[in-house]
Amino acid sequence: MKSDKFSPTTGYRDAGVDIDAGNETVRRIKSIARSTFTSGVLSELGSFGGLFRLNTDRYREPVLVSSADGVGTKLKVAFMTGRHDTVGADLVNHCVNDILVQGAEPLFFLDYLATGRLSPDVAEQVIAGIARGCRENGCALIGGETAEMPGFYAEGEYDIAGFIVGVVEQSGIIDGRGIVPGDALIGLPSAGLHTNGYSLARHVFFDRCGLTPDALVPELGATVGDALLAPHRSYLGAIRPLIHAALIKGMAHITGGGITENLPRVLPAGCAASVDRSAWVVPPLFTTIQQRGHIEGDEMYRAFNMGIGLVVVCAAPDQPRVLALLSEHQAVAIGHVEAGDRVVVYVDG
Task: Summarize pLDDT for 167-206 with one digit per residue, the tens.
Answer: 999 999 999 999 999 999 999 999 999 999 999 999 999 9
Domain count within the chain: 2
338 with 225, same domain? yes
Task: Summarize pLDDT for 23-74 with one digit per residue, the tens.
Answer: 676 777 788 888 999 999 998 887 889 999 999 999 999 999 999 999 999 9
Given a contact cutoff of 8 angstroms between Cβ atoms, the answer to whether 334 and 187 are in contact is yes
Which domain covers residue 158, as residue numbers? 12-172
Q: CATH code at 277?
A: 3.90.650.10
Looking at this protein, which amino acid is placed at residue 267?
A: L
197 with 338, same domain? yes
198 with 294, same domain? yes
Given 172, 194, 228, the domain boundary residue is 172
Which residues are CB-contacts of 341 (< 8 A; sequence separation ≥ 6)? 269, 270, 272
69 with 106, same domain? yes
Residue 16: the pLDDT is 56
DSSP 8-state symbol, 19: H
- For residue 17, pLDDT beyond 70: no
Given a contact cutoff of 8 angstroms between Cβ atoms, the answer to whether 305 and 258 are in contact is yes
211 with 301, same domain? yes
Distance between the two ends of the chain, CA-based, in angstroms? 81
What's the longest Cα–Cα distance across the chain? Answer: 86
107 with 149, same domain? yes
pLDDT confidence bin for 229, thresholds 50/70/90: very high
104 with 245, same domain? no
How far is 196 from 259, CA to CA, in rounded Å? 12
In a domain, 273, yes or no: yes
How far is 135 from 236, CA to CA, in rounded Å? 12
Looking at this protein, which amino acid is placed at residue 259?
A: I
Q: CATH code at 116?
A: 3.30.1330.10
Task: Summarize pLDDT for 312-334 with one digit per residue, the tens.
Answer: 999 999 999 999 999 999 999 99
User: In degrees to the nearest 10, what's the CA dihedral of 328, 244, 253, 342?
Assistant: -120
Which residues are CB-contacts of 120 (< 8 A; sequence separation ≥ 6)? 21, 24, 25, 28
In a domain, 190, yes or no: yes
In a domain, 7, yes or no: no
pTM comes to: 0.92
